[in-house]
Structure formats: structure tokens, C-alpha cells
């Protein structure tokens, strides 16, 4: 293909959240960032890129011939499709309620593709949190990871090493946004220039940092859920489930710093473990544990930290030797899902109930298929919009073992 202009009718949204369709006169499948189902657009091949990405040839948006009725002006001045614009809130050009509808549709489609259409009817509306209906991503995110070469500070342009200089990031909540602005003001600075062979250094900010002085170079902070309101909802959901359990051992696999572990401890009959690989998370977990222990009767309801690599068979075996059998399991894995599910369920073969918190639909659905194949039945499935203005979605699922 040369530097031609192609007309495309957008039929749906790809996994990356880009509009896809077919070139009118050739029928070739293409994806185009910044487009929405129902639109007709003109697009060109990107500079220096003719490779396919996934099932689609990537094109660049040139002109919108027929816009979606849901289209808005992007609320953030940094947001856009250009090389010097931020691609961090890729759906912010579309009305919020329409984004939510499309997320649910995409989720239902993923269920269908993996042969689990029977789960569709148990999903209610996607949980959303005010004031998001105002169509703005303002003030919702607890955290961000930023890159700097000592001069520019901001996010990387999608799929590149190019730093988009960001003065202010409106998607951050007030605390994180203030910390970012304060730290941003200290640039340019030579001590943040990358070493030979590197494009940038990175730093992480979240709303649990006390001061911009505590920001560290190239150091990952413990995992933190992206939105406080969604996180509170998830904690409540887990508290309620745990309170319905009888006595036994409950394990929060992928515990991070205990964000979802301590809600399980609201049931005093349970013995609780948080299992996690990150040492930074261990420090925060133990910090939370101290204040928790000050409040409760330790002997009745102990909570323990347990370091383990859940991607490693030998580490899972060692874990089962250390903690014994598990009655109730909470899984909140990273996007990769449960990479060692067979080993996990071989070692822990007494699990009665599973709570699953997932942020990547394909791996979550594949993990659920495995649970169903092991004799579990799903009793609840909730979709939570923890990532507004992006294609991502949080999923909560509850499984029970059938006799
Ligand atoms: C989605 S986060 C969930 C954290 C926690 N549930 C929370 O709400 O903050 C996934 C966690 O899994 C941990 N993790 C990633 N790979 C792991 C592995 N191989 N073994 C154990 N934990 C892992 C990460 O460090 C991270 O804390």
C-alpha cells in the first residue's frame, strides 16, 4: 500500500480499544485509534509502519467523514492522537455512558468467543461511580507512572519511547495531581537524566505518598487499585462474602499490601494469609498488620504475610507445605491471570469458594473456564468500571464448589 487515503466504516472496537473496520474498496481489516463504531473516516498508513498488529493493519486517522453522535471534544488539553499528545485516556472523546455500554458489549463478546455465553444473563449493569457521568476523566485515578529524560516529564506516546511532556494530569485525584505538579516544577534537572543506552528514568506517584520529596527514581511502589471509589466497592463486596463463610483458612493470593486481605478479616472465624511476591508490598502489608493487630484480638483472628512466586510450581508447593489446605481463595492476579492454575488447584484441592477479581477479560474468562471444569459453579458476576475513559474493566466473580 502506498501513502493512499482509505475510507473506512468503523464496525467495532478492537481489544486495544481502537475502532476497526474494512477498507471500502479492498475489504482489508484495519484498526484506527480515535474512532468509534458507526463512524465513517478517512485514514492513511502510519509513517515507517506497514506491519500488522494483531489481526488488523493499523491506520492513522486523517479525517472524520461521518462522526458518532456520542463524540465530544477531549476535555484534557494534552489528550490526542498526535506524536506529542497523550494517549492515556483514549476514550475521553466519547460520552461516558456510551463507553460503558461498549465495555459491556465487548465483555459479552469475549464470553461468547470463549464459549461462556451462559454467564451473560447473570451480569447486571456495569457499576459506575459519580461524578463520572459528567463525561470528564477529571480527578479519578489514584496513581500514575511517569517517564523523564531530565528535561521532559510525562507519559510515553503509545507504543513508542517518546516522552509526551505533561504539565498537569487531570485524571489523577487531587492528592496525586498536586504531588505530580509539585515534583514537575523541579524540572529540568540533571540528576534525572537517563544513563548511557537508556531513554528515560521513571517515577511512580500515588495518593498514599506523603510528599513529593519521597518520590524515588526507577522504584516501583506497591500495587494500588486505580480508583478509590471502585476499590471501596470491591472491599465491601469481599467483606460481605467473607462474613458468610464458616471457619477455615482464607487466602488472598496476589495480596499486594493487603488491600483486599484485611476486609476478609472482618470474619473472626477465619485464619487469613496474604500471599505475594513483592517485597515493597510486604513492607506496607506489615505496616497495615500492626495497626490492625492493635485493634483486634490477635489470637482469634490472625492475619499472616506469606512470600511466594505464584508463577513457580516449586514455590506453590512450598507455600502449601507452609500454610496447609485452603478453604476460601481470593485471586486478584495481574493481567496474565493464573499462570499456574493446575498446580495451584492440585496443591490446594479443598477450596470451597473462590472470589476472583480480574482486570483483563481474556485471561479472567480463561481462568473461570478452568474453575468450571474443576466442578465449581459461578454464583455472581459483576462488572466494575474502575478504568473510565479507557477500554479496561474490572470483573468480580464468585464461585462455589459443587458436591
Ligand atoms: C492486581 S494486583 C492485586 C493487589 C491487591 N489485591 C490489591 O488490591 O492491592 C496483583 C498483585 O500480584 C502480585 N504478583 C505479581 N506476580 C506475582 C507472582 N508471580 N507471585 C505472587 N504475586 C505476584 C503483584 O505484585 C501485585 O501486588
Best substitution site from 222, 334, 360 to test ligand 1's pocket, by max atoms within 8 Å of Cβ? Answer: 334
CB 146 within 8 A of CB 180: yes
Residue 138: CB within 6 Å of ligand 1?
A: no
Cα 356 from Cα 382, distance rounded (Å): 10
What SS3 class is residue 102?
A: helix
| Residue pair 58/49 in contact by the 8 Å Cβ criterion | yes
Could you state, in order of their start, the residue ranges of all structural domains in the chain? 6-66, 143-214, 228-401
What strands lie across the sheet with 201-206, from one edge to the other?
Answer: 163-165, 153-156, 143-148, 201-206
Question: Residue 256 C-alpha to ligand 1 middle, in angstroms?
Answer: 5
The residues, any chain, with a CB within 8 Å of residue 295's CB and separated by 6 or more, are none
The closest residue, in CA terms, to atom 27 on ligand 1 is: 256
Nearest to 251, CA basis, from 299, 316, 340:
316
Task: Give the DSSP H or E segment for 397.
Answer: strand 394-401
Q: State residue 297's pLDDT score.
A: 58
Tell me the best of 250, 253, 254 to mutate to test the pocket of ligand 1, counting ligand atoms within 8 Å of each CB and taking the most: 254
End-to-end CA distance of the chain: 59
Could you tell me if the CB of 338 is within 6 A of ligand 1? Answer: no
Task: Kindly report, residue by residue over 147-157, the tens digit of the pLDDT.
Answer: 999 999 999 99
Residue 46 near residue 9, CB atoms below 8 Å: no
CA 67 to chain centre: 29
Residue 251 bridge partners (DSSP): 273, 329
Ligand 1 centroid from CA 275, angstroms: 8
Residue 192 Cα distances to 45, 148, 151, angstroms: 36, 7, 8
Cell numbers given for 2: 502506498
**Cα–Cα distance for residue pair 280/213, rounded to 1 Å:** 18
- At residue 110, the pLDDT reads 96
Burial of 240 (0-12, 13-18, 19+ CB in 10 A): exposed
CB atoms within 10 A of CB 285: 24
- Stretches in the chain below the pLDDT threshold 50: 1
pLDDT per position as a tens digit, 1-57:
457 999 999 999 998 999 999 998 889 999 999 999 999 999 999 876 655 556 789
CATH number of this structure's domain 6-66: 2.40.50.140
Is the beta carbon of 259 within 6 A of some atom in ligand 1? yes
For the domain 228-401, what is the CATH code? 3.40.50.150
Place of cell 461468547: 112
Q: How far is the CA of 394 from the centre of ligand 1 (A)?
A: 15
Separation between Cα atoms, residue 232 and residue 213, nearest integer Å: 28
Ligand 1 mutation target, pool 220, 227, 256, 283, most atoms within 8 A of CB? 256
CA distances from 80 to 10, 162, 266, 302 (A): 19, 14, 45, 50
List the residue whose alpha carbon is closest to atom 26 of ligand 1: 256
- pLDDT for 54 equals 67
For position 76, what pLDDT does the model report?
94
Instruction: Report CA Rg, the chain.
Output: 23
Contact 184, 153 (CB under 8 A): yes
Residue of 403, 402, 392 whose CA lies nearest to 17: 392
Cα–Cα distance measured from residue 45 to residue 30, given in angstroms and rounded to the nearest whole number: 10
Amino acid at each position: 500500500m502506498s501513502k493512499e487515503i482509505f475510507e473506512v466504516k468503523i464496525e467495532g472496537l478492537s481489544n486495544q480499544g481502537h475502532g476497526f473496520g474494512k477498507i471500502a474498496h479492498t475489504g482489508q481489516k484495519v484498526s484506527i485509534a480515535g474512532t468509534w463504531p458507526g463512524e465513517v473516516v478517512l485514514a492513511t498508513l502510519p509513517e515507517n509502519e506497514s506491519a500488522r498488529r494483531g489481526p488488523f493493519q493499523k491506520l492513522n486517522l486523517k479525517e472524520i467523514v461521518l462522526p458518532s453522535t456520542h463524540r465530544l471534544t477531549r476535555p484534557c488539553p494534552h489528550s490526542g492522537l498526535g506524536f506529542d499528545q497523550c494517549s492515556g485516556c483514549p476514550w475521553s472523546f466519547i460520552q461516558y455512558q456510551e463507553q460503558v455500554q461498549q465495555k459491556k458489549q465487548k465483555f459479552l463478546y469475549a464470553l461468547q468467543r470463549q464459549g461462556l455465553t451462559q454467564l451473560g444473563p447473570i451480569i447486571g449493569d456495569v457499576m459506575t461511580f459519580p461524578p463520572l457521568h459528567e463525561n470528564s476523566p477529571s480527578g479519578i485515578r489514584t496513581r500514575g507512572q511517569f517517564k523523564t529524560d531530565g528535561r521532559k516529564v510525562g507519559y510515553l506516546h503509545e507504543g513508542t519511547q517518546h516522552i509526551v511532556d505533561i504539565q498537569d494530569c487531570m485524571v489523577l485525584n487531587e492528592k496525586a495531581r498536586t504531588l505530580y505538579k509539585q515534583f514537575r516544577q523541579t524540572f529540568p534537572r540533571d540528576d534525572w537524566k537517563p544513563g548511557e543506552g537508556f531513554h528515560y528514568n521513571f517515577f511512580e506517584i500515588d495518593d498514599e505518598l506523603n510528599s513529593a520529596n519521597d518520590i524515588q527514581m526507577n522504584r516501583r511502589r506497591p500495587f494500588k487499585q486505580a480508583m478509590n471509589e471502585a476499590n471501596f466497592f470491591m472491599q465491601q463486596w469481599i467483606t460481605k462474602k467473607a462474613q458468610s463463610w464458616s471457619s477455615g483458612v482464607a487466602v488472598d493470593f496476589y495480596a499486594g499490601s493487603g488491600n483486599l486481605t484485611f476486609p476478609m478479616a472482618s470474619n473472626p472465624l477465619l485464619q487469613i494469609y496474604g500471599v505475594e511476591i513483592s517485597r515493597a508490598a510486604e513492607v506496607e502489608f506489615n505496616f497495615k498488620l500492626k495497626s490492625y493487630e492493635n485493634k483486634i484480638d490477635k489470637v482469634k483472628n490472625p492475619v499472616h504475610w506469606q512470600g511466594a512466586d505464584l508463577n513457580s510450581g516449586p514455590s506453590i508447593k512450598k507455600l502449601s507445605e507452609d500454610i496447609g489446605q485452603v478453604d476460601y481463595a481470593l485471586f486478584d492476579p495481574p493481567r496474565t491471570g493464573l499462570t499456574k492454575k493446575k498446580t495451584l488447584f492440585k496443591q490446594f484441592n479443598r477450596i470451597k469458594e473462590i472470589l476472583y477479581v480480574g482486570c483483563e477479560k481474556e485471561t479472567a474468562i480463561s481462568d473461570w473456564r478452568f474453575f468450571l471444569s474443576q466442578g465449581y459453579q459461578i454464583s455472581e458476576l459483576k462488572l466494575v468500571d474502575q478504568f473510565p475513559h479507557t477500554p479496561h474493566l474490572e470483573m468480580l466473580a464468585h464461585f462455589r464448589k459443587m458436591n
